[in-house]
Amino acid sequence: MGTDKFADILNKIKRESGKFYSFLEDHNPRLPADYWFQQPPEGMTLFLVLYTRACRWARCLGCNLSAAESQFEVPFNDMMKQVDHVFDFLLSPEQRENLKKIILSNNGSVLDEVTFSTTALLYFVAKMNMNCPHISVLTLETRPEYVDMAELEVLHRALQEGKTPTNLELAIGFEAFDDKIRNDHFRKGLNINTFESMVKKIARYGFKLKCYFMLKPVPGLSEEKAIEDIIKGIDYLDSISQKYSIEINMHLNPTFVARGTALDTEFRKGNYQPPKLESVQQAALAAEEKRISLYVGLNDEGLAVPGGSFKREGDEELLEKLHQFNRTGDFSLLKG
C-alpha cells in the first residue's frame, strides 16, 4: 500500500470516526514513542511502545493512541535503531539483568506487518535474548486478525534460544463484554468467534493471553452497568481459561477522556464522565478466586484532556491500594 494512499485512508477513517487529533510526525524515528515500568507479581516489567505507522483500524470511540504514531511508513532500519536505543542506552545493566517481562506495543498491532516490520520484530527478540537473560514472558499487543501462527511459531522458537526460555503472550483489546457496547458503540470490530478461534490456536502452543477491558468506555453507561459488564467479562474469560486450558490476564483500564476523540466531544458537551475509582475497585473484586489474574491500568499516558482523567482529588488512598494490588495480587487490599 503506497504511503500517500495509506495516510489518506487513515485520515478518512479518523474524520468518519469523529476524531480530530493530529499524528506525531516530528518525532525522531530512531527513538521509541514511550516506555514505562510496571511491578506486577511476576516481577519487573517494561512496557515499551515503538514509533511506527499508526494503527490501521483507528475506529475505536475513545482511542487517540495513533496520535503518538506516524501516518507514514517508518522504515525497518529506523525501527531497529529504536530497538538498539532501548537495549544499549535506555535500560541500565541492573534493569537488563532484573527484567522478567516485556510488553511490546506500537499503539496498534505489533503483528500487523503493514505497520510493524517483521524484520524489526525478529531483531527485537534477538536483542532481548542477548541483553535480558531472565525474561520469562514477551507480550505482543495485536488485533486477532493479524495473528499468523506460522509467524508465532518462528517467534516461539527464537524465544527458546535465550538464557531463560521465554513464553509468548498475546495482548488483545477486548474493551467490553457486551457486543453492542463493544462493536456498535465503541466500534471495536471484534467478533467473539474470531476471538475464540484465535484462543484455540494459541492454546495449543501453551501461549498466554492478556485481554484489555475498559470500564465505562462509552457515554450513556451508568457506573452500575459498567461494573456489570466487567463482571460478565471476568466470568467469560474465566470460562475460556477453563475450556482451552490457557492462562489469561485481564488488564482492566478505567476509561479516561482522550484528546481529539468522539468521547472528548461528548465530554465537552457534558454527556460523559470517567468512571470512579471505587467502581474499578468493585469490578476488580469479581476476579477473586477465578482462574484468571487481573491487573489495573492506572496510566493515562498523558493523553487525557484536562478534567478527563479517572483520578480525582481524594482518590490518593484508593489509588495507592490499587498500585499495591497490582504489585501483589492481594484482593484483601480492595475490600472494605
Length of the chain, in residues: 336
Question: What does the pLDDT average to over 48-58?
Answer: 97
* pLDDT above 70: residue 3: no
Residue ranges covered by each domain of the chain? 3-334
| Torsions phi, psi for 277 (to 5 deg) | -65, -30
Helix axes 223-244, 192-203, angle to 10 degrees: 40
**Which residue did the predictor score with more confidence, 279 or 302?**
279
* CATH number of the domain located at residue range(s) 3-334 in this protein: 3.20.20.70
| Torsions phi, psi for 299 (to 5 deg) | -120, 120
Q: What is the pLDDT of residue 302?
A: 84
Q: What is the pLDDT of residue 331?
A: 97
| Separation of alpha carbons 82 and 322, rounded Å | 32
| Separation of alpha carbons 88 and 231, rounded Å | 43
Question: What does the pLDDT average to over 29-46?
Answer: 96
- The DSSP H or E segment spanning 102 is strand 101-105
Question: What does the pLDDT average to over 296-325?
Answer: 94
* pLDDT above 60: residue 203: yes
Evaluate if pTM is beyond 0.85.
yes
| Separation of alpha carbons 214 and 222, rounded Å | 14
pLDDT digits (tens, 9 = 90+) for 59-81: 999 999 999 999 999 999 999 99
Question: What does the pLDDT average to over 145-168?
Answer: 94
Is the distance from CB of 153 to CB of 190 less than 8 angstroms? Answer: no
Q: What is the pLDDT of residue 2?
A: 47
Is the distance from CB of 175 to CB of 137 less than 8 angstroms? Answer: no
Write down the mean pLDDT value for the chain. Answer: 96
Is the distance from CB of 212 to CB of 173 less than 8 angstroms? Answer: yes
* pLDDT above 60: residue 251: yes
| Separation of alpha carbons 21 and 12, rounded Å | 13
* pLDDT above 50: residue 313: yes
pLDDT digits (tens, 9 = 90+) for 219-248: 999 999 999 999 999 999 999 999 999 999
| Separation of alpha carbons 136 and 67, rounded Å | 31
